[in-house]
Amino acid sequence: MSYRPDNPLIAQSDHTLLLETQSPRHDEARDALLRFAELVKSPEYIHTWRITRLSLWNAAAAGHTADEVVDLLREFAKYPVPENLPVSIRETMARYGRLRLVQDGSWLRLEADEAADLDLVRHLPEAADLLGDDLGERLALRVSPRRRGELKQVLTAFGHPVQDLAGYEDGDALTMALAPTLDGRPWSLRDYQMEAIDAFHGGPGAGSGVVVLPCGAGKTMVGIGAMVRLGMRTLILCTGTSALEQWEREILTRTTLTPDQVGAYTAQRKEIRPVTLTTYQILTWRKTKTSPPAHFRLFHQANWGLVIYDEVHLLPAPIFRESALLQARRRLGLTATLVREDGCEGDVFALVGPKRFDMPWRRLEEQGWIAAARCIELRVPLTAEDRVRYVTASAQERFRIASRNPRKGAVLERLLARHADEQVLVLGSSIDQLGFLARRFDIPLITGETPAAERAERYQAFRDGRIRVLALSKVGTSSIDLPGASVAIQVSGSWGSRQEEAQRLGRVLRPKAGSNTAWFYSVVTADTDEQDYAERRHLFLTEQGYPYRIEVWAA
């Protein structure tokens, strides 16, 4: 392949990919890379992507082939693709499916095509107590069904992903359908939502995996559609009480299920019904630091046919451990991003399942299903006094000083005036800062300490338009349906969390009447660690194709 100057991609032998943002083929190439690579950094003109084992295994599980990946690299490459890269891609993707778990009577069988692959597994110390008898000529090892999840987790960590073809136990049957609308027709799912449900329920290993869709694109409807199609008892794990209540409302509105068939297992309600909703907090609650989680029995108290993990990228470690025992149940993870700040994406892959469906945000924006986002970073200097305090402080104190920069209040005032006719969310991680701003501008505030009834009333008042501006701490980062919000102003964030950036942007992406435009502002203290963290957070925006403008605000 000769030099092609109009192409945007430079593939390098260390598995990094450089993508030129000014190329006319940039958007096309970026959408292709999302299938099999991960964004690493995104300065103005050259973005760096990396091909990883996990990104290739997810691509393989989604049905993409090594030849397809190599062909895409060659299609967009400016220079010849290094010879080692296609070899490495083919070798890595070929690992997915070389080890397979299949049903073998009351046991499972880990089988391989090559004796060498089985030898590797036999000699892994971490897998020794997870494996049973050698089945000799069948090139297989016996596995206890209870060790199914642990084995997949261990082998994935060691670079030997297992394709799980062992199937699932059926839960109790539950008759349900999408409910009729006022005109008598059932609620209709969008084409991409149907594709996501088809991908989850169809193909090898179907019945477990993750669907990646932007906030505002209707992940809840994908979960409901998957549940309706399966027709079995379902357990739904949510990020908090507000998210649980939102799921409950949607299920009762969009399906033929009745209130006596849908229950909540919370601190106030202990209902176990054919469809049961609970929260990660309830499941991981302990009486003391040393006692086991008190409510894990919920996983096993009913014959669930499906477990849905809402916002699976936030899955707590104890839920991972319990999920290792749930491998005979169908599992659906829903998320806007597979990025985990703890690096446990491999555990999501092994225990919940591989990525089954992904739809780029910009494609949905172009089709009008979500609002067009305008992302702007506003850099605000410290006062001279705070600058002196900042340079002599510890790392933790520097982060606090930058996050709570009092000059952010003047910026917020101007932004609220700029968007005086729109519904605005003020988002932050510092409770003290949010409390100060809420008092200064007379803004209702919701934090983790806000009583549930008061929280629900304020959310509803915002939905009804009785409240125009609402301040939210981390409790409002995910799974809250506030469709009227068109402006988000982020006044502080959690270090460099890309997942938080995704969720906060998602709060304003519901489609809007008129221009269908959303505004996402990040107010950042200039020339501090907060500015560096903001650049990491923006990786997510750039990965999804959102250019963000930087404005420097004078003191």
The whole-number pLDDT of residue 41 equals: 75
d(CA 501, CA 511): 19
Pair (84, 107) in one structural domain? no
* Residue 174 in domain: no
Pair (109, 87) in one structural domain? no
2-16, 120-134, 519-533: least confident range: 120-134
Pair (452, 304) in one structural domain? no
Whether residue 220 contacts residue 247, with contact meaning beta carbons closer than 8 Å, is answered with yes
Q: What is the CATH number of the domain that holds 432?
A: 3.40.50.300
Decide if pLDDT at 15 tops 60. yes
Final residue in a domain of this structure, among 308, 333, 359: 359
d(CA 551, CA 538): 15
d(CA 207, CA 455): 36
* Residue 324 in domain: yes
The whole-number pLDDT of residue 28 equals: 92
> What percentage of the chain carries pLDDT values higher than 70?
95
Decide if pLDDT at 537 tops 80. no
* Residue 390 in domain: yes
**If pLDDT is split at 50, 70 and 90, which confidence band does 234 have?**
very high
Q: What is the CATH number of the domain that holds 156?
A: 3.30.70
Pair (321, 284) in one structural domain? yes
The whole-number pLDDT of residue 300 equals: 85
Q: Tell me the pLDDT of the chain averaged across its residues.
A: 89
Pair (479, 547) in one structural domain? yes
* Residue 476 in domain: yes
> Each residue of 47-85: pLDDT tens digit?
889 999 999 999 999 889 999 999 999 999 999 999 999
Decide if pLDDT at 432 tops 80. yes
The whole-number pLDDT of residue 203 equals: 81
d(CA 113, CA 263): 46
3-class state of residue 471 by DSSP: strand
Decide if pLDDT at 349 tops 70. yes
Which positions ≥6 away from 224 have C-beta within 8 Å? 178, 250, 251, 254, 255
Decide if pLDDT at 540 tops 80. no
**One-letter-per-residue 3-state SS of 54-113:** HHHHHHHHCCCCHHHHHHHHHHHECCCCCCHHHHHHHHHHHHCCCEEEEEECCEEEEEEC
Query: Does 498 or 255 have the greater pLDDT score?
Result: 255
Pair (349, 496) in one structural domain? no
The whole-number pLDDT of residue 389 equals: 93
CA-nearest of 449, 425, 448 to 506 is 425
Residues 20-29, mean pLDDT to the nearest whole number: 92
Final residue in a domain of this structure, among 95, 112, 143: 95
Pair (71, 108) in one structural domain? no
* Residue 183 in domain: no
* Residue 185 in domain: no
The whole-number pLDDT of residue 186 equals: 67
Query: Does 222 or 364 have the greater pLDDT score?
Result: 222
Final residue in a domain of this structure, among 308, 325, 359: 359
Pair (391, 416) in one structural domain? yes
> Each residue of 169-221: pLDDT tens digit?
999 999 999 998 766 676 789 999 999 999 999 988 889 999 998 877 889 99
Q: Count how many domains the chain has.
A: 4
Pair (220, 206) in one structural domain? yes
* Residue 2 in domain: no
The whole-number pLDDT of residue 279 equals: 92
Q: Give the domain extent around 371.
A: 365-552
* Residue 349 in domain: yes
Tokens, residue 328: 């005979």
The residues with which 424 forms a beta bridge, in sequence order, are 469, 487
Tokens, residue 23: 């190329």
Coarse DSSP helix, strand, coil percentages of the chain, rounded to the nearest 5 percent: 40, 20, 40
Pair (442, 498) in one structural domain? yes
Pair (490, 341) in one structural domain? no
Decide if pLDDT at 88 tops 90. yes
d(CA 329, CA 465): 42
Pair (33, 128) in one structural domain? no
